[in-house]
């Protein structure tokens, strides 16, 4: 078994009172902030984050330093920072652990990110269902104001910052960055058409950066330990993919489902799905074999068991037909799991969460759910599988038919489940609808019409 580096992001998790300023400072807390405001300019902080190769941990994997440079130069301000703690992707819980057990690590990362981008106000948009995070974050923010890590002229510098907690509106779509901004402004969380991107026109129509909790936690360590430390872990860019910027640094993987030891584990980017399951999760439970795994939240699609040796990084998952790494939430399914049930649950989730603005997403998620209901109830037809694939191939930002990525997230489980497990779907339909699996029944109204 390879030697894994000591956890850094989870280093304080599990220590008594790990959420207090006292414990955080005992382990070098806020030293990176002192270093930055005393020795570094904002541009130097951006440069070190760029040099580290940090890519956003919220799902899209966009390079963080590059995103920060999209803010307009010499803008009179204010510039806003929105911290995305909506964490609603099924199977994902690493942000919650960071906020509950080490809120100061998150806050130091936010302060450094605001220093770099010259943001003077940060809104932390917190998932509604996370009350303990709220309490611990608010207590930590209060401690920071008392120590002048927040407020006016932080540590004697000319940099001032306020952080406000904002309770989310309890819907998956609130995590999409422009849905989040709309919700923060007090409106329904309907994603905005882009451009303009938030960096140009975001919260309250001002330049805004949206970053994930784990992303800013990484910023704290990059400033403290340097870009080379961060780049010493992970996977370099794929020479065969000119769009791959590499996958560097430690990553928090959420492992759940049919494993012996579910949990949140820190490992360098690029660990394979099988290594994660076996080394960290203690293998598939009950002595069974694995059948499939969601590689990074349900939006990313499905890995079949024979693909478990795929590295969980930003590039490799695309090569086996998945959308990407997403939130690195791995949900394992054992050999007894029905793929029909899996896909039914997935379709039910996305149909419920679609905000309804775009016809392909609103209708596509609803129709795919109806078809899965029909299949599960023994009325499926083989041609339903091709209809489902047609929906999967035509909804989303990637085919260019919707405003936001929720529809791509709905499409990928459909495409992967049917293409990778087609035989199981066909057998299910043939067995549960032996006489009608090839037949297209006319709708009841037409039958009655024909009788008269
Ligand atoms: C439907 C949908 C839901 C999303 N939910 C989240 C979320 O809960 N948390 C998050 O950080 N990013 C989420 N994202 C991604 C954000 O839009 C955005 O890319 C991210 O917050 C940027 O931060 P990062 O660059 O640090 O990753 C979601 C995207 C979509 C399309
Ligand atoms: S893709 Fe779906 S969730 Fe996103 S804006 Fe359109 S309808 Fe709403």
- Per-position b or e across 130-149, b if 16+ CB within 10 A of its CB: beebbebbeebbebbeeeeb
Q: Is the pLDDT of residue 449 over 70?
A: no
pLDDT at res. 195: 96
Looking up tokens 């309890």 gives 170
pLDDT at 206 > cutoff 80: yes
Q: What is the mean pLDDT of residues 78-98?
A: 98
Q: State in Å: Cα 358 to ligand 2 middle.
A: 5
Question: Does residue 62 have its Cβ closer than 6 Å to ligand 1?
Answer: yes
Confidence of residue 1 (pLDDT cuts 50, 70, 90): low
Query: Which pTM was predicted?
Result: 0.96
Ligand number nearest CA of 98 is 1
In this model, does residue 141 exceed pLDDT 80? yes
Q: How far apart are CA 132 and CA 117, in angstroms?
A: 29
Give the nearest ligand 2 atom to 356 CA: 7
Partners of residue 122 on adjacent β-strands: 81, 163
**C-alpha 179 – ligand 1 centre gap (Å):** 10
Could you tell me the distance, in angstroms and rounded to a whole number, from the CA of residue 404 to the centre of ligand 2? Answer: 5
Does residue 88 have its Cβ closer than 6 Å to ligand 1? yes
249 in Cβ contact with 234 (< 8 Å): yes
212 lines ligand 1 (CB under 6 A): yes
Residue 442's pLDDT is 62
Over residues 38-75, the pLDDT tens digits come to 999 999 999 999 999 999 999 999 999 999 999 999 89
pLDDT above 90 covers a percentage of the chain that reads 94
């Amino acid at each position: 078994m390879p030697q894994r580096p000591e956890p850094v992001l989870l280093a304080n998790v599990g220590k008594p009172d790990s959420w207090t300023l006292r414990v955080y400072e005992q382990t070098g807390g806020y030293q990176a902030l002192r270093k930055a405001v005393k020795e570094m300019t904002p541009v130097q902080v951006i440069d070190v984050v760029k040099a580290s190769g940090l890519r956003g941990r919220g799902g899209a994997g966009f390079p963080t330093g590059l995103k920060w440079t999209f803010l307009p130069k010499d803008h009179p301000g204010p510039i806003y920072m929105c911290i995305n703690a909506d964490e609603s992707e099924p199977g994902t819980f690493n942000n919650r652990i960071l906020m509950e057990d080490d809120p100061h690590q998150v806050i130091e990362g936010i302060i450094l990110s605001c220093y770099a981008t010259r943001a003077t106000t940060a809104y932390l948009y917190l998932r509604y269902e996370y009350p303990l995070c709220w309490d611990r974050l608010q207590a930590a923010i209060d401690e920071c104001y008392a120590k002048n890590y927040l407020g006016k002229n932080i540590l004697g510098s000319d940099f001032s910052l306020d952080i406000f907690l904002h309770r989310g509106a309890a819907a998956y779509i609130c995590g999409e960055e422009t849905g989040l901004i709309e919700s923060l402004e007090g409106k329904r969380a309907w994603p905005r058409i882009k451009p303009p991107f938030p960096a140009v026109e975001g919260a309250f129509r001002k330049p805004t950066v949206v970053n994930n909790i784990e992303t800013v936690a990484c910023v704290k360590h990059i400033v403290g330990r340097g870009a080379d430390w961060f780049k010493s872990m992970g996977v370099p860019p794929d020479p065969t993919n000119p769009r791959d910027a590499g996958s560097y640094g430690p990553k928090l993987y959420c492992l759940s489902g049919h494993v012996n030891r579910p949990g949140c584990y820190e490992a360098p980017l690029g660990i394979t799905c099988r290594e994660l399951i076996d080394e960290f999760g203690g293998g598939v439970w009950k002595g069974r074999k694995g059948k499939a795994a969601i590689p990074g939240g349900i939006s990313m699609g499905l890995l079949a068991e024979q693909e478990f040796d795929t590295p969980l990084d930003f590039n490799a998952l695309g090569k086996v037909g998945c959308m990407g790494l997403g939130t690195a939430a791995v949900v394992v399914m054992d050999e007894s799991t029905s793929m029909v049930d899996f896909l039914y649950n997935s379709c039910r989730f996305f149909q419920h969460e679609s905000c309804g603005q775009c016809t392909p997403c609103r209708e596509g998620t609803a129709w795919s759910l109806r078809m899965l209901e029909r299949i599960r109830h023994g009325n499926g037809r083989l041609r339903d599988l091709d209809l489902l694939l047609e929906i999967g191939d035509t909804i989303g930002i990637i085919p260019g038919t919707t405003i936001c990525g929720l529809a791509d997230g709905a499409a990928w489980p459909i495409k992967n489940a049917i293409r990778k497990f087609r035989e199981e779907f066909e057998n299910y339909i043939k067995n549960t609808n032996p006489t009608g699996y090839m037949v297209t029944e006319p709708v009841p109204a037409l039958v009655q019409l024909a009788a008269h």
